[in-house]
């Protein structure tokens, strides 16, 4: 019997014909009081992992959501001084990262600011009483991250001071993005874009075999429709954007923004309108985005330029009120916006 040997070119064509093209899978859901969206390329046909991701995020919510009275963080907040509360890996990861960023940022990031977040109307407490200077001074005494002690084997939290509380909303969404991405990677998904409430992480390429691109909003609170200020490319990178144009209220003609300065106890307003922080891990980007808003433009810019692991894009107003953009060298901005 004569053996048939195919030429190399024919073998390559046969392999290409048999190889299945990646399928783009995209879905949207609700999580952590906001939306989430996942887009990924599946090598094994249309495989929808939304039910599994919903389950992962449900577990996440019962660990870190202050809006769930049965969550682990709520149990910590409801505990008395001296109590020891069992916590899980998710809680331990977020708390550990919070302590790290708190120390590196000189206290600009501090999740123990929760009592003040509630007092100013940006937390889970409904219809809080009016805020005055005496109340702020009293609540500032509860901003004490060092009063919480994390023990391991097994994980548990020791609460050292009465009425102290933790608020992980400035870091939890970023960590939620990382958790979803880790799930996808365990399913051998290596090209994806995951978005939870505007915190994003990308890996690989999109369906056009190009890097993922995302838009950064123009930080003007009077816009009726979303306008994009900048478009950036993400190459195996996360981006987290924080800005006082997103969450605020106006009372008696005064604007109150959701970024609370842990040192003054008051909403932080400055010429820094928006900051987007880039890091491979979304949990890190999310925490520093909040820290930078507290720092203000000049201090945050100096910090970002001195920190090799971070890049940032700042949108601020100059002395004439004009919108200005500055970004560190590692940010890849698309110059030709549509």
- The parts of the chain modelled with pLDDT lower than 70 are 1-20, 221-224, 245-257, 335-338
Kindly state the tokens that stand for 47.
């495989």
- CATH numbers and ranges of domains, the chain: 67-159 (1.10.3980.10), 211-338 (3.10.520.10)
Q: What is residue 9's predicted lDDT score, i.e. its pLDDT?
A: 52
pLDDT for residue 267? 85
- Tell me the torsion sign for CA atoms 201, 207, 210, 216: negative
Distance CA(166)–CA(65), nearest Å, equals 10
> CA 199 to CA 35: how far, in whole Å?
11
At residue 15, the pLDDT reads 43
pLDDT score recorded for residue 32 = 84
Task: Find where tokens 């509630």 sit.
Answer: 118
Rounded to the nearest angstrom, the gap between the alpha carbon of residue 97 and the centroid of all alpha carbons in its chain is 13
pLDDT at 44: 86
* pLDDT of 20: 66
CA-closest candidate to residue 83, choices 144, 153, 142, 161: 161
Residue 1 pLDDT: 47
């Amino acid at each position: 019997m004569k053996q048939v040997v195919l030429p190399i070119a024919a073998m390559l064509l046969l392999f290409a014909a048999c190889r299945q093209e990646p399928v783009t899978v995209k879905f949207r859901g609700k999580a952590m009081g906001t939306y989430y969206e996942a887009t990924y390329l599946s090598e094994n046909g249309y495989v929808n992992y939304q039910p599994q991701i919903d389950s992962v995020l449900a577990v996440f919510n019962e660990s870190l959501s202050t809006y769930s009275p049965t969550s682990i963080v709520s149990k910590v907040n409801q505990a008395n001084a001296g109590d020891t509360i069992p916590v899980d890996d998710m809680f331990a990861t977020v708390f550990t990262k919070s302590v790290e960023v708190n120390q590196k940022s000189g206290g600009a990031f501090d999740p123990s600011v929760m009592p003040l977040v509630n007092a100013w109307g940006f937390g889970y407490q409904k219809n809080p009483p009016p805020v005055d200077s005496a109340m702020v001074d009293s609540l500032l005494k509860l901003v004490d991250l060092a009063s919480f002690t994390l023990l391991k084997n097994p994980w548990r939290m020791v609460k050292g001071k009465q009425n102290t509380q933790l608020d992980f909303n400035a870091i939890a969404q970023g960590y939620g993005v990382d958790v979803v991405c880790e799930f996808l990677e365990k399913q051998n998904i290596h090209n994806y874009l995951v978005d939870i409430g505007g915190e994003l992480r990308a890996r690989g390429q999109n369906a056009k075999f190009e890097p993922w691109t995302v838009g950064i909003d123009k930080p003007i609170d009077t816009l009726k429709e979303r306008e994009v200020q900048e478009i950036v490319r993400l190459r195996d990178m996360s981006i987290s954007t924080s800005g006082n144009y997103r969450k605020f209220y106006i009372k008696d003609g005064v604007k109150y923004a959701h970024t609370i300065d842990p040192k003054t106890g008051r909403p932080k307003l400055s010429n820094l309108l928006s900051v987007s922080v880039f890091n491979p891990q979304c949990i890190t980007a999310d925490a520093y985005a909040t820290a930078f808003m507290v720092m203000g433009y000049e201090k945050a810019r100096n910090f970002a330029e001195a920190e090799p692991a971070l890049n940032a894009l700042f949108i601020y107003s100059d002395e004439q009120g004009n919108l200005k953009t500055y970004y560190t060298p590692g940010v890849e901005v698309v110059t030709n916006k549509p």
